[in-house]
Amino acid sequence: MSTPPDGLPAYRVLTGPDDAGFCQRVSEAIGLGYELHEGPAITFNGENVIVAQALVWPTQT
């Protein structure tokens, strides 16, 4: 597939608390065909650890 499914963008950033739900969303994106772009960004908001993960749709060369 040369473009992401369901009209999704080629570049996405998923964010949220570092929990099973966030890991599931990243896993689902990988399952669709996205690839991780670099490592995650991690911060602490005073209550929770918050993570962000960029994903890219692979380009055909």
pLDDT tens-place string over residues 9-32: 999 999 999 999 999 999 999 999
Does 42 have pLDDT greater than 60? yes
Range of the domain at 52: 5-56
Task: Give the integer Cα–Cα distance in Å for 5 and 16.
Answer: 23
Amino acid at 55: L
User: For residue 16, is it within any domain?
Assistant: yes
Structure tokens at 55: 């994903």
Give the pLDDT confidence score for residue 60 in this predicted structure: 65
Does 58 have pLDDT greater than 90? yes
DSSP letter at 19?
S
Give the pLDDT confidence score for residue 59 in this predicted structure: 84
If we measure between CA atoms, which residue out of 59, 5, 17, 20 comes closest to residue 37? Answer: 59
Give CA separation, 30 vs 4, 22, 39, in Å: 11, 13, 14
User: For residue 61, is it within any domain?
Assistant: no
Does 61 have pLDDT greater than 70? no
pTM of this structure: 0.88
Number of domains in the chain: 1
